[in-house]
Structure 1
Amino acid sequence: MEHETFPEELADALVGVQRLIRRRLRRETPAPQLRGAEVELLRLVVARPGIRISDAAKDLYLAGNSVSTLVNQLARQGYLVRETDPADRRAARLLPTPAAEARLAAWRRRRADLVRQQVAKLDEADRQALVAAVPALRLLAENLREEGEEP
């Protein structure tokens, strides 16, 4: 692989792997199907229960009204609870329901199983290369997040 094409090839590979994982898991996921933004919001709320809508919008790089729409949809489906923030009665805090936590836990298990099965099909050298790449990929993600937060 030429150095000049590496960034594009890496980005394409990451997007391709993520898309294929989502497609494979979507087939096995119970209804209702959740869109990517809905899943990302659920994951954020499970990780940070009590997060405000405005903070969720900032973390997800979405407009506040877009997150409010997602919150309304997920609340109707029984995955989120919106409560008044005791520190600021004008703001709402988001809490996951047990159904949301169970759905995300099941999805994580299925995702891990799928990746485990596919990685097992690779030869040892490729498996080790993937293991070695994980720290660098995490750092890349952190750098992208930090640059996105700059004013």
Structure 2
Amino acid sequence: MPPEPAPAPQPPRTEQSQAARLTDVVTRLRRALRSSIRTDYPWESLPMAQVELLQTLAAGPLRVGELATRQRLAPNTVSGLIGKLLEAGFVDRQNDPGDRRTARIALTPAGERQLADWQQAHERRLAGALDTLAAADREAVVRAIPGLELLAAALGEES
């Protein structure tokens, strides 16, 4: 019986290959979370772009231009998203005390509830998934959170 061939050498992990792997994992994680949330929250149909606007508005009312800058979207795209959120009753327009010609967009109580429900459903799904991991893997994920927060900041995430 001939000896088994030696395993092929693995190329060294370069920063680029690590970045590619991280890109893949983040994309798959987001997709899995977005699709699996329907298990706990089957009525949820809010597109992610609208959820992200609600998350940004949770800190306080903003003008459309400010929202566009923070979300890195065109103002007309943000206006369209806001229109949908207005129709749903999740946001409203308020007079801007500094400039009566413009309006600020703010969460309504219904928008705050929607966002809280969405957040709680995602937290339950992630907590459940974390519970399925071996203790060492779970700890590794938790230990990575501060580094991921720094990475988000380095990429220019607006807080």
Larger Rg: 2
Letter in 2 for 1:64: P
Which residue of structure 2 aligns with residue 87 of structure 1? Answer: 98
1:11 is the counterpart of 2:23? yes
What's the CA shift for 1:58?
Answer: 0.1
Residue equivalent to 1:23:
35
Gaps of 5+ in 1: none
Larger proportion of helix:
1
Q: Secondary structure at the match of 1:51?
A: coil
- Distance in 1, matches of 2:62 and 2:47, equals 20
- The CA deviation at 1:29 is 4.1
* RMSD across aligned positions (CA): 1.7
1:1-151 equivalent positions in 2, closer than 5 A: 2-4=12-14, 5-27=17-39, 28-30=41-43, 33-47=45-59, 49-145=60-156
* DSSP 3-state at the match of 2:103: strand
SS in 1 for 2:73: coil
2:100 aligns to what SS in structure 1? strand
Deviation at 1:17, TM superposition (A): 0.6
Instruction: State how far apart, in whole Å, the 1-side matches of 2:113 and 2:119 are.
Output: 10
- Deviations 1:89-137 (Å, cap 9, x if unpaired)? 2221011111111111111111111111111111111011111100000
Distance 1:115 1:64 in 2: 33
Q: Summarize the Cα distance change of 1:98–1:29 in structure 2 as closer, same or farther, 3 Å threshold.
A: farther
Q: 1:26 to 1:88 in 2, by over 3 A?
A: farther
Instruction: Letter of the 1:92 partner, please give it.
Output: A
SS of equivalent residue, structure 1 residue 3: coil
Deviation sequence 1:44-81 (CA, Å, 0-9, x none): 1122x221111110000001111111111110111110
Name stretches of at least 5 consecutive residues in structure 2 with no aligned partner: 1-9
CA distance in 2, matches of 1:98, 1:63: 27
Matches of 1:3 and 1:137, distance apart in 2: 19
Relative to the length of structure 1, the TM-score reads 0.89
Instruction: Provide the C-alpha distance between the structure 1 equivalents of 2:38 and 2:69, rounded to a whole number of angstroms.
Output: 27
TM-score under structure 2 length normalisation? 0.85
Partner deviation per Cα, 1:4-38 (whole Å, 9 max, x = no partner): 2211011110111111101111452425x211111
